[in-house]
Every structure is written in C-alpha cells, then in structure tokens.
Chain A
Amino acid sequence: MTESTRNEPLLSHRPYRTDGEWSSLRQSKAQIQNCDLAQPSDGSYNDLMLKEFFPQLLRFENELEEARKDFSYRFDATVKSVHAFFASSTDKVLSRF
C-alpha cells in the first residue's frame, strides 16, 4: 500500500455495501440452503462435504479476509483502541451478553 492510498479519506474510494445489503442475512441463508451444485451429487456424506460444505467455508474465509484487509488499511486507530472501545477500563476480556 502506498502512502498516498493510506492518506485518502476513509470512506471515499471503495464501494461499500449499503445497510440494506449487509442486513440481507436472511436472503443469504436462503441461498445457501437452496444452493444448486454445478456438479451432480451422489448424495454421500463425502460428496456433500467436499462439494458444498468446504467450498462454502472457503468462500466465507476468503470474504472475511478481504473485509479485514479493507478494514486494516483504512481505519485510523490501533487494534488496542478498538479493543478498548469494547472493553471497559477494568476488563481485559470481551464477553458477557
């Protein structure tokens, strides 16, 4: 990443999803449940896992990594300050609902 890229306004140069798109979890879940595989399945457990489960898991991890990269080079604070935003001054851990 170049210094000029780093200094650009945080929300200016990358297309972001809208709130509506981010909140389309229900639709996305339906897509997973109705996912049509391009390859015919023999219905076995191995087939299901190798053709569907792990490819989908890979997709999620790829997307998460891209989201983390995007976040990491555009936000202007430290991880520590982000952590502090969630944890109180006396907490060292995040939990509790």
Chain B
Amino acid sequence: MQEGLNRLDLTFEKLDLQLVIDRYAVPGREELTFADFESMIMPKSPVFRMDMATRKVRKELSQESKQLLKKLLRKLIDSESEIEVLRERVRNHTNEEQRGLYDLLDRRNRGFLTTQEWEMAYEIHRDWLLPCGIKPNFELLVCRLARDKAAAKVTFGHFLEEIRMKSLKFYA
C-alpha cells in the first residue's frame, strides 16, 4: 500500500497507515483484501453503490481519478488518525466503566446494540450531537462499530475495539 501511496505522492506516518489497515482489515489480519478495500473506499449508501456498479468506466486510472483517489485517501487516513486522538482522551478509564456504559446503552439486555439503541440513547439529548454539527446517521456508526458486517449488531467486543487506543497495540 505504501508503494501505491508513493505513486500518488502521498506520505504518511507508518502509524497512520496501520490505523487504516486495522480499521478495514478482518480482525487479526494486517492485510486488506479486495472486499476490505472496497468497503474502505465505497459509500455505504446502496444507491451510490448501485450507480457505481452499472456505470461504464475505464480500466485505467486517469489523472483526474488519481487526484480524486488521493483526496479520499487523505481523508480516510486523517480521519483514523484523529479518531485515535479521541481514543487517547478517553483511555484512562476502567473496564467496569466501559462495561457500565455498554450496559446502559443495551437497554433491552440483548447483548448487542443496533441503530435503535443509539437512537434511544440520544432521543432525549439530541442537543448533545449539535456541538459537532452532526446530522445523526446512526447506521453509519453501527456499521463502523460492527466492522462493516451486514448483521449490524455491535457486541461488547466491537465496542471495546473501537474505544481502546490502537497505537498501544502497535507498539506493544
């Protein structure tokens, strides 16, 4: 992947790339399969995916497409890096606190979270989402937490995987 980034004149820290690989690869692997790669760069929206699938396209990348790809990759890599900063801010908390929050969100005690649980959590406190200028799309959040699985169920393991710092693992 580094070679491809070099060909686009993109340079990133090794840790930043590791964060992206970790986000999109199958857990436990350090490689992106084609399916992982597709999940990384394609929108979740079925409308856009369908449009892409039916479009007549070139096989080679044009200069314009390379520029678009470059911008998207920057966004992907920068985002994961910034999310790691968020994780660092919440790292000094106990397993009990993490479990407590998960159980609080899992109001129906089903052992997993769906978009419904997230909707309920913010139902009364929509204003909590406003400071960051968000139009809430909890499906995207669940999709991320559930590692892009179609089942869209966030287990406690998924939950921990998202909120715990990754860079500690890389340097361990």
Contacts and interface: CB of A to CB of B under 8 A. Distances in A.
Main secondary structure on B side of the interface with A? helix
Interface residues of A, number: 65
Interface string A42-77: 000110111111111111111111011111111111
A70 to B, nearest CB: 8
B52 A81 contact: no
Interface of A: 1, 6, 9-11, 16-17, 22-23, 25, 28-29, 32-33, 35-39, 45-46, 48-65, 67-83, 85-87, 92-97
B14 A55 contact: no
Nearest to B7: A85
Contacts of A64: 75-76, 79
A84 to B, nearest CB: 9
A32 B32 CA distance: 29
B101 A68 contact: no
Interface residues of B, number: 79
Nearest to A30: B85
Contacts of B137: 58, 61-62, 65
A93 B136 CA distance: 33
B64 A9 contact: yes
A92 B140 contact: no
Given A49-B90, A64-B76, A59 B61 contact: no
A45 B96 CA distance: 10
